[in-house]
Structure 1
Amino acid sequence: ANLMMLGFAYQRGLVPVTHQAIEKAIEMNNVSVDKNKLSFLIGRIAAETPDFIAEKLNQLSKGLELDFQRKSETLEEMVLRRMSDLKNYQNEALSETYASLVDRVRTAEETLGKKDLEMTQAVAKYYYKLLAYKDEYEVARLYTNGNFKKYLEQTFEGNYKLEFNLAPPLIADKDSETGHLKKKTFGPWMLSAFSVLAKLKFLRGTAFDIFGYSAERQAERGLIKHYEQLIDRLLPLLNDENYILMLQLVSLPEEIRGYGHVKEEHLKRVKMREEKLMAHIFDPAADKELSQSAEGHLRHAS
Structure 2
Amino acid sequence: MTYKLLYNDAVAMTGGQRAEGRMNVPDITRSLALEGVRRIVVTTDSPRDYRGIALDPIASVRHRDELAAAEEELKALDGVTVLIHDDRCAAEERRLRKRGKLPAPAEKVLINERVCEGCGDCGEASTCLSVLPVETEFGRKTAIHQASCNTDYSCLKGDCPSFLTVVPGTRPRREIPALPVTLVDPEPRVDPDATLIRMPGIGGTGVVTASAILQMAAHLDGLFAAGLEQVGLAQKGGPVVSDVRISKQPHHGILRASRGTADVLIGMDLVGTASDATLAVARPGHTVAIVNTSLVPTAAMVTGRVVLPGSTDDAVERIGAVTRDLLAVDAQTLSEALFDDHLPTNMLLLGAAYQHGVLPVSAEALEEAIRVNGAAVETTLTAFRWGRAAAIDAAAVRSALVAPQPAPVAVDEASAELARSVAAGTGLADVLATRIADLTGYQDAAYAQRYAEEVRRVTAVAAARAGDAAGERIGAAYAHGLHRLMAYKDEYEVARLHLDPVETARRDAAFGPDARVSVMLHPPVLRALGMNRKIALDGRLAAPAFRALRAARRLRGTPLDVFGRAGVRRVERELVGEYQALVRSALDRLEVDTVDGVVAVADTADLVRGYEDVKLGNVERFREQARAALAALTG
- TM above 0.5: yes
Instruction: Check if 1:182 corresponds to 2:533.
Output: yes
- Distance, in Å, in 2 between the alignment partners of 1:245 and 1:202 is 37
Q: What does 1:46-195 correspond to in 2, within 5 Å?
A: 61-63=403-405, 74-116=427-469, 117-157=472-512, 160-173=515-528, 182-188=533-539, 189-195=541-547
Partner of 1:13: none
- Distance, in Å, in 1 between the alignment partners of 2:607 and 2:487 is 16
The answer on whether the counterparts of 1:109 and 1:119 sit within 8 Å (CA) in structure 2 is: yes
Partner of 1:53: none
Task: Provide structure 2 residue ranges, at least 5 long, that are not aligned to the other structure.
Answer: 1-97, 101-202, 209-230, 238-295, 297-331, 333-340, 346-374, 383-398, 409-425
2:520 counterpart SS class: strand
- How far does residue 174 in structure 1 lie from its aligned partner after superposition? 7.4
- How far does residue 154 in structure 1 lie from its aligned partner after superposition? 2.9
The answer on whether the counterparts of 1:170 and 1:211 sit within 8 Å (CA) in structure 2 is: no
2:536 counterpart SS class: strand
Instruction: Check if 1:248 corresponds to 2:586.
Output: no
The answer on whether the counterparts of 2:586 and 2:630 sit within 8 Å (CA) in structure 1 is: no
- Distance, in Å, in 1 between the alignment partners of 2:617 and 2:400 is 38
Go from structure 1 to structure 2 and tell me whether the alpha carbon gap of 1:229 and 1:32 turns closer, same or farther (over 3 Å shift). same
Go from structure 1 to structure 2 and tell me whether the alpha carbon gap of 1:59 and 1:91 turns closer, same or farther (over 3 Å shift). farther
Q: Which amino acid aligns with 1:220?
A: E
Task: Provide structure 1 residue ranges, at least 5 long, that are not aligned to the other structure.
Answer: 1-18, 51-56, 68-72, 288-302
The answer on whether the counterparts of 1:172 and 1:183 sit within 8 Å (CA) in structure 2 is: no
- Distance, in Å, in 2 between the alignment partners of 1:244 and 1:251 is 10
- How far does residue 141 in structure 1 lie from its aligned partner after superposition? 1.1
The answer on whether the counterparts of 2:474 and 2:599 sit within 8 Å (CA) in structure 1 is: yes
The answer on whether the counterparts of 2:466 and 2:590 sit within 8 Å (CA) in structure 1 is: no
The answer on whether the counterparts of 2:518 and 2:537 sit within 8 Å (CA) in structure 1 is: yes
Greater Rg over alpha carbons, structure: 2
Partner of 1:221: 573
- Distance, in Å, in 1 between the alignment partners of 2:500 and 2:99 is 43
- Distance, in Å, in 2 between the alignment partners of 1:142 and 1:60 is 25
- How far does residue 273 in structure 1 lie from its aligned partner after superposition? 1.6
The answer on whether the counterparts of 2:579 and 2:605 sit within 8 Å (CA) in structure 1 is: no
- Distance, in Å, in 2 between the alignment partners of 1:244 and 1:109 is 12
- Distance, in Å, in 2 between the alignment partners of 1:107 and 1:145 is 34
- The superposition leaves residues 35-86 of structure 1 with CA deviations (integer Å, 9 ceiling, x where unpaired) of 99x5359997x96xx9xxxxxx9896423x869xxxxx93122112211111
- Distance, in Å, in 2 between the alignment partners of 1:230 and 1:262 is 22
Q: Give the total of aligned pairs.
A: 243
- How far does residue 127 in structure 1 lie from its aligned partner after superposition? 0.6
1:185 counterpart SS class: strand
- How far does residue 104 in structure 1 lie from its aligned partner after superposition? 0.9
The one of 586, 590, 595 equivalent to 1:238 is 590
TM-score by length of 1: 0.67
TM-score by length of 2: 0.34
Go from structure 1 to structure 2 and tell me whether the alpha carbon gap of 1:107 and 1:185 turns closer, same or farther (over 3 Å shift). same
Instruction: Check if 1:39 corresponds to 2:391.
Output: no
- Distance, in Å, in 1 between the alignment partners of 2:589 and 2:631 is 14
- How far does residue 269 in structure 1 lie from its aligned partner after superposition? 1.9
- Distance, in Å, in 2 between the alignment partners of 1:31 and 1:61 is 32
